[in-house]
């Protein structure tokens, strides 16, 4: 029963992904296209958080830093060094991954609250550094709060849809890989009992680092794409803790450490915030706060997680 459900999920996933490919052709309204793009965007981003924190249980409160690094690398590469978009995009992902490697090694030794605070501190530090670096060292590099304006792409919404879709697809593919590999098994073992896992021969340091770097790489790509799309970035925006909040809530609501979790959580919350609009930001946040509290109290495994427990499914 399990592997049949699993195969159905896989086929559905591939069909939906292939189907999404045709969306820009069929959707008339630019608004709807943008909305769908945003949903896919957030599914991917929430998925990145899930890869690291959802599966290992190491709650990362600073993932936005890699998003921001991706944005800035892309912006600086395209403006200061006149690189084209795609090489720049690749560079953004790679540099985010490199930073993740450097930061991950000391930080992943910490546990629980300390890991959460350290990652948060690093993200805020990067934001402040980007804001103050130019002024302190009298150079012109990050442009601080003035922000960087990227070259206008001239591309339409469909282009960005086709940039974001493959990245999200890769994120979800990583999820599928995690659900069906020893690597993923090791990650889940870390969540349940890290010491036990280590004793059983899992190289916890190595696989934690792999998850962290993978997550950072994809976040860097998303950051770069968004920078190019909205053409203007500032530190307060791209390193904004609100993005972390969104990632966490979406994955939490959907189900941490599950395949469909980020998809469900991101879709629901993106559509919710869109329907509430900009006039009701405070109501949205109050509602989010209430959802978080209620979810933790009655459904700590999220929608998909609870479903998995009740229906004894394994690979959703």
Partner 1 sequence: MDAVLVQAIINGLLLGGVYAAYSAGFSLIFGVMGVVNLAHGELIMLGAFTSYWLFQFFNLDPYFSAPFAMVFLFSFGYLVQRFILNRVMGLPHIMSYILTFGLHLMVANIAIKIWTHDFRSITTSYSGANAAILGLNIPYARLITFVVALFVTWGLWFFLMKTETGRAIRATAQDKEVARLMGVDIRNIYAVTFGLGAAITGLSGAVISPFVIISPEMGLEYTIIAFCVVVLGGMGYIPGALVGGLTLGVAQSLAATYLNAGVSVAITFIILFMMLVIRPTGILGKGNIA
Q: Give contact residues for partner 1 (rule: CB under 8 A).
A: 57, 59, 106-107, 109-114, 116-118, 120-122, 124-125, 128-129, 131-132, 135-136, 245, 248, 252, 282-283, 285-286, 288-293, 296-297, 300
Residue 90 token pair: 């690749």
Contact between 237 and 81 (Cβ < 8 Å):
no
Minimum Å gap between C-beta 111 and partner 1 is: 7
Contact between 107 and 115 (Cβ < 8 Å):
yes
Minimum Å gap between C-beta 105 and partner 1 is: 10
Q: Which is nearer to partner 1, 126 or 316 (CB)?
A: 126
Contact between 46 and 244 (Cβ < 8 Å):
no
Minimum Å gap between C-beta 147 and partner 1 is: 15
The residue ranges of DSSP E strands in the chain, in sequence order, are: 148-149, 232-233
Q: Which is nearer to partner 1, 9 or 110 (CB)?
A: 110
Q: Which is nearer to partner 1, 9 or 291 (CB)?
A: 291
Minimum Å gap between C-beta 230 and partner 1 is: 24
The residue ranges of DSSP E strands in 48-172, in sequence order, are: 148-149
Q: Are strands 232-233 and 148-149 parallel, antiparallel or unpaired?
A: antiparallel
- Number of helices (H), then strands (E), belonging to the chain: the values are 15, 2
Residue 127 token pair: 């934001």
Q: Which is nearer to partner 1, 65 or 78 (CB)?
A: 65
- Count of CB atoms situated within 10 Å of the CB of 231: 13
User: How far apart are alpha carbons 56 and 193 in whole angstroms?
Assistant: 10
Minimum Å gap between C-beta 285 and partner 1 is: 4
Minimum Å gap between C-beta 292 and partner 1 is: 3
Q: Which is nearer to partner 1, 132 or 198 (CB)?
A: 132
Report the run of H or E that residue 204 belongs to, with start and end: helix 204-230
Maximal CA-CA distance, the chain: 65
Q: Which is nearer to partner 1, 120 or 160 (CB)?
A: 120
Q: Which is nearer to partner 1, 61 or 218 (CB)?
A: 61
Minimum Å gap between C-beta 231 and partner 1 is: 25
Place of tokens 């972390």: 244
Closest C-alpha among 45, 15, 50 to residue 222: 45
């Amino acid at each position: 029963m399990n592997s049949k459900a699993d195969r159905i999920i896989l086929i559905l996933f591939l069909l939906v992904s292939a189907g999404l490919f045709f969306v820009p052709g069929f959707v008339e309204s630019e608004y709807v296209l943008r909305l769908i793009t945003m949903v896919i965007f957030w599914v991917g981003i929430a998925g990145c958080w899930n890869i690291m924190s959802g599966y290992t249980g190491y709650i990362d409160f600073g993932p936005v830093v890699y998003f921001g690094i991706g944005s800035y690398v892309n912006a600086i590469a395209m403006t200061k060094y006149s690189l084209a978009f795609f090489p720049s995009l690749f560079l953004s992902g790679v540099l985010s991954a490199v930073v993740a490697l450097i930061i991950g090694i000391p930080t992943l030794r910490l546990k629980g609250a300390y890991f959460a605070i350290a990652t948060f501190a690093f993200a805020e530090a990067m934001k402040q550094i980007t804001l103050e670096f130019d002024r302190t060292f009298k150079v012109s590099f990050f442009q601080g709060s003035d922000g960087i304006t990227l070259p206008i792409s001239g591309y339409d919404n469909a282009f960005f849809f086709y940039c974001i879709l493959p990245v999200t697809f890769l994120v979800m593919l990583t999820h599928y890989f995690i659900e069906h590999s020893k690597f993923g098994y090791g990650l889940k073992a870390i969540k349940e009992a890290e010491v036990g896992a280590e004793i059983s021969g899992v190289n916890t340091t190595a696989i934690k680092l792999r998850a962290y770097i993978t997550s950072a790489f994809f976040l860097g790509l998303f950051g770069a794409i968004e920078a190019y799309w909205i053409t203007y970035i500032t530190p307060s925006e791209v390193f904004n803790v609100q993005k972390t909040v969104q990632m966490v809530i979406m994955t939490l609501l959907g189900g941490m450490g599950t395949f469909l979790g980020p998809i469900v959580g991101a879709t629901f919350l993106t559509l919710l915030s869109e329907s509430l609009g900009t006039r009701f930001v405070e109501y949205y946040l109050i509602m989010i706060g209430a959802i978080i509290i209620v979810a933790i109290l009655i459904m700590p495994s999220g929608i998909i997680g609870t479903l998995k427990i009740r229906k004894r499914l394994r690979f959703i």
